[in-house]
Amino acid sequence: MQKSKNTFLLYTLAFLLFLGGVSWLIYSGLSSNSVYFLNVSEALAASPEKVQSIRLFGTVADRNLVREPNSLHLTFLLEDKDNASVTIPVSYQGIIPDAFKAGAEVIVEGGMSADRHFLAKTLMTKCPSKYQKENRKNP
């Protein structure tokens, strides 16, 4: 009788440790990979601790678009999708997508510097409407 009671206690303890380990892995995985997805107005209004690691979306402004020659460095202004007068300067170092141009909708991932300048680690462009199914002509 004593042996079966000890075995039950051992299995219960092992199950609780296993459950605790899995719970910790899930929690740590979700908390380290959580990134806010904001538009330009929301990013400028957010507190500094919330904009350390975010995804930001908007439209590339027609002005202040600078590609440094013989370099992968790019700076541009990102306009709020709803209010083009609200902009944020973005600095990006990396491969520039082919669809990137003034007026393109983009998503940048990175963080905000102390002087409210966005330092992008990733730059993605939204596919132009010519790639959407409803705008294609049937052959």
Within a domain: 136? no
| Residue with the larger pLDDT of the pair 30 and 69 | 69
Within a domain: 137? no
Same domain, 53 and 112: yes
pLDDT of 123 strictly over 90: yes
Same domain, 60 and 27: no
Same domain, 67 and 85: yes
Within a domain: 13? yes
The parent domain of residue 95 ranges over 35-131
Q: Is 120 helix (H, G, I), strand (E, B) or coil?
A: strand
pLDDT of 79 strictly over 90: yes
Same domain, 48 and 59: yes
- Pure H helices in the chain: 2-33, 40-45
Within a domain: 139? no
Mean pLDDT of the chain: 83
Same domain, 100 and 39: yes
| Residue with the larger pLDDT of the pair 113 and 76 | 76
Within a domain: 138? no
pLDDT of 89 strictly over 90: yes
Which of 35-39, 88-92, 126-130 reaches the highest mean pLDDT?
Answer: 88-92
- CATH number of the domain bearing residue 113: 2.40.50.140
Span 91-113, average pLDDT: 90
Same domain, 48 and 96: yes
Look up residue 5 and give its amino acid. K
Closest listed residue to residue 97, CA positions, set 88, 107, 89 = 107
DSSP class of residue 53 equals: S
Q: Per the structure, how many domains does the chain have?
A: 2
Same domain, 54 and 73: yes
Same domain, 20 and 65: no
| Residue with the larger pLDDT of the pair 116 and 2 | 116
Span 110-127, average pLDDT: 88
**Residue 77 confidence class, pLDDT cut points 50, 70, 90:** very high
**Residue 1 confidence class, pLDDT cut points 50, 70, 90:** low
